[in-house]
Chains A and B, each alone.
Chain A
């Protein structure tokens, strides 16, 4: 499992978007902190989506801080993937892990 190298972010705080920051962590695994305008209804679903997306990319030792402004799932997924890729400084990602 690969570690996050540097803090990075993706997305915006505009409505229907999501702002994702990833920061390296001392602890193993993936820690998600979610703040969402729709958290009462979708909080858990969004959190597990974020976790699943990060796991599929084999992320580890990482904290993912997410401010959601009502983004749809495919937007959240894209923003999380981008943030992790940016944290790794990857310019040539393994596309098979990003489906």
Chain B
């Protein structure tokens, strides 16, 4: 049935059968409410790859939000459909499903009806929700559909584009997830949590990081979507919107890690990088290093002045600034992460080509440690600790260049050393994950 044209007869017949099935289920599960899910596909082809992609997302959301006691799905000539029998009250279900329709980026293509135990279809307007808008313009959907204002080709192109955009955003979100996983799993790492030990940390291990990563991922999606949606606004407004998402992300992270700061710097970096990617996608800019660099700079213009000079937040990064004058991660972001684009990324790519990803990641970490003004090192070891790590990392990297076989042993020794000195280069770890992420994105 996929990509097959249905006739009018078939479509009308399937729709009547669908309603019969709804009524049958409401009789079989007397007293329950029913959710009926279909996908709005104009034209004779009712089941396309796009329709199936949207359907899967809708189905997952409904199961998550509405907790059905029974469900079934079927492909018919009128499209792919699913029924969910729920114990919740129909009005409450309608509110939940309207939320899915309105908030999911592909929600506009979902048609989620709710029937009460008396087989009545609840309407959006009765609940105070607005009538649905057209796919393309700002008119009410009924009006445009009835008048056939938009050509079928235009509607279909719009659907395909929306699904592809959504898929790209999901893919970017997934890359951010993988970037964080790769960073924490890279072993051995000096002073940092890895799969062998907890580095110079007594309050967390790799599982703390896994939980933290899982908590952060949904917000990565929000960073990208949020910036994508408001890309036309002033950069400062976009930055503020990203910061609001970031604050919720921080809270979720702390809840998942039971109050331990696992990824605070990373949450900030991801906001900036993913926000910039969202803006670029919306503006149809190609994913190049140059474009990303410029967009990050634009997004973070004046963040140092606004954050560190006007306000005085009580974070390690802020204290770092007052005491050493170094701008830390905010300075990096405001400059568009020059150390990432000019130093770690070219180095990582070259190393990856020559020695593969794992060796490249390890050496890039050392390179970052040797150059970065890492406030997490400073907060524990002061300026001496920071300088010690920079010099040591530089020395190890030099030795490894001369004799590649000592890479793992060097990292292990460096790890022991930093554990003993209670030093953890968290900022370098964040930049490493970011380097991997940007490297992957730039290949899209």
A: residues with CB less than 8 A from B are 10-17, 37-38, 41-42, 69-70, 72, 74-75, 78-79, 82
> Any chain A CB within 8 A of the CB of B12?
yes
Q: How far is the CA of A60 from the CA of B21 in the complex (A)?
A: 32
Residue of A at shortest CB range from B132?
Answer: A15
B contact residues around A10 at 8 Å (CB): 16
B contact residues around A74 at 8 Å (CB): 8
A38 engages B143 (CB within 8 Å): yes
A12 engages B148 (CB within 8 Å): no
Out of B19, B143, B147, which one reaches A12, CB within 8 Å? B19
Min C-beta distance of A35 to chain B, whole Å: 12
Main SS class of interface, B: helix
Task: Given A14-B38, A15-B141, output 7 extra A-B contacts at Cβ < 8 Å.
Answer: A12-B18, A15-B40, A37-B142, A38-B142, A69-B142, A72-B148, A82-B12
Min C-beta distance of A13 to chain B, whole Å: 5
Residue of B18, B121, B146, B147 ringed by the most chain A CB atoms within 10 A: B146
> Any chain A CB within 8 A of the CB of B214?
no
> Any chain A CB within 8 A of the CB of B111?
yes
Residue of B at shortest CB range from A19?
Answer: B19
A16 engages B145 (CB within 8 Å): yes
Q: How far is the CA of A92 from the CA of B113 in the complex (A)?
A: 35
Out of B8, B12, B121, B142, which one reaches A13, CB within 8 Å? B121
A contact residues around B142 at 8 Å (CB): 15, 37-38, 69-70
B16 engages A11 (CB within 8 Å): yes
Residue of B at shortest CB range from A14?
Answer: B15
Q: How far is the CA of A14 from the CA of B17 in the complex (A)?
A: 12
Within 8 A of A (CB), among B107-166: 111, 113, 121, 141-143, 145-148
B contact residues around A70 at 8 Å (CB): 141-142, 145-146
Min C-beta distance of B232 to chain A, whole Å: 31
Please give me the 4 A-B residue pairs with the lowest Cβ-Cβ distance, nearest first: A70-B142, A12-B19, A37-B142, A38-B146
Q: How far is the CA of A15 from the CA of B113 in the complex (A)?
A: 10
* A15 with B12, Cβ < 8 A, contacts A41-B143, A70-B145, A72-B146 known: no
A contact residues around B141 at 8 Å (CB): 15, 70
Residue of A at shortest CB range from B125?
Answer: A37
Min C-beta distance of A99 to chain B, whole Å: 14
Min C-beta distance of B58 to chain A, whole Å: 15
B contact residues around A75 at 8 Å (CB): 8, 12
Residue of B at shortest CB range from A75?
Answer: B12
